Copies of this chain bind each other. A is one copy, B any other.
Amino acid sequence: MIRFNCDYLEGTHPRILEALAETNLSQTCGYGEDEYCEAAREVIKKACKCEDAAVHFLVGGTQANLTVIASILRPHQAVLCVKEGHVNAHETGAIEATGHKVMAIEGKDGKISAEQIREQHKLHWGDGAHEHITQPKLVYISNPTELGTIYSKRELEAIRKACDDCNMYLYLDGARLGYGLASKENDLTLEDIAKNCDVFYIGGTKVGALFGEAVVITNKALQEDFRYIIKQKGGMLAKGRLLGIQFFELFKDGLYFEISEHAMKMAELLKSGLSELGYKFYADSPTNQQFVIVADEKLKQLDEKYSYEYQMRYEEKYSVVRFCTSWATKEEHVLALIEDMK
C-alpha cells in the first residue's frame, strides 16, 4: 500500500532521529527550560527576524490553537474564520470547550479577506444590541489553508490593516507553513508573517518533525503568562527538550525549507502529471495537498494499491479526493500513481 492520504504518515526526518539518539542520555531540566529549547528558540527568532518574539513549543496543532486562543480572549470574545477553518471544522469544538464561539463565515478558496473582516466588525458594532452577540476579536487564518491555497503578501498585509483598524488580533495556523513558503506561487517570507501576525505557529508534525509545533508570539502584550496556559491545557511536555532538539535541527541550517521544497516538487509532479491526463481539480492548490476529481470506478481500482483522503461526492459518478505529498514522499511512488491513474 502506497499512502498519499496525509502528510503525517511516517515518523520523522532521519536527521532528527539522529539528533534524538545523540542527545538521548544527556540529562536536562524539564518543561522546555533546557538548553536545547533555548537554542531552538534562538534559531527560530533569527529565521523570523524578530528578536522580541516569545517562542513556545507544543506537541500538536489543536493543542496550539486552543492554547493560543484561550490565552488571548476574554469570555465574550470570539474567533472569526472561514467555515473550513481547522478550529471550526476539525477540532471537536476545542475552542468552544474553552468558552469561545467560533464565528465562521463563507470564505473564498478557503481564505478570508480584509473586506470580510471589516464587514463583520461593522455588523457587530453597528448593531444597537451588540452586547447580545459575541464580539469578534481574533481573526484565525491558516496558511496554507485547508484547501491548499495560500495568502499573498498583499492579502496578508490588507488583513493586518483591517485587524488594526478593527482592533482585532491576527493568528495564523501554520500547520503546513513550510509547504506554503516553498510553493512556487508564494511571495511571503517568515519575516513577513512575523511582522503581520500577532501570533502564529510553525508546524513541525507535518513538515519533518516527529511531532511538535512552534508557537511564535510577536505581540508583546500577548506574551504574558503564556506558559501557565500551556500547562493548564495539558500541553507542557515534561521532557520539553524533545521539541527543542527537533526544532533546532529543522532551523539551524535550513532543513525545514529544504524538505518543504522536496514536498513541493513532488506535488508539482503529481499536479502536472494528472493535469496532462485530463484530470480536473476541485481547488487550484499550489501546495502539497491536491484535491482531484476522480471517477468512482477509477477510485475502486486505486484502492488496491493507494490510500487517499475521500472528501465528498462531486457529481453522480465522480468524487473529490485528496492526495498529499510530504518531505518523505518518494518520486517513484508519485510516478506510479500517475501511471495507474491513466
Contacts and interface: CB of A to CB of B under 8 A. Distances in A.
A225 B27 contact: no
Nearest to A228: B76
Contacts of A238: 6, 8, 60-61, 205-206, 211
A289 interface: no
Given A27-B10, A59-B237, A237-B211, A92 B21 contact: no
A122 interface: no
Interface in A49-86: 59-67, 70-71, 74-76, 78
B233 A234 contact: yes
A25 B91 contact: no
A273 interface: no
B25 A236 contact: no
Interface residues of A, number: 81
Given A71-B74, A92-B131, A238-B206, A12 B24 contact: yes
Contacts of A10: 24-27
Interface stretch (A95-103, A107-115, A262-270, A296-304): A95-103
Interface of A: 1-3, 5-6, 8-12, 14, 17, 20-21, 23-31, 59-67, 70-71, 74-76, 78, 89-94, 96-102, 128-129, 131-135, 205-206, 210-211, 225, 227-239, 241-242, 307, 310, 328
15 contacts: A3-B29, A9-B29, A17-B21, A21-B21, A59-B60, A71-B74, A71-B75, A75-B93, A93-B232, A101-B102, A131-B227, A132-B231, A206-B238, A210-B239, A234-B234
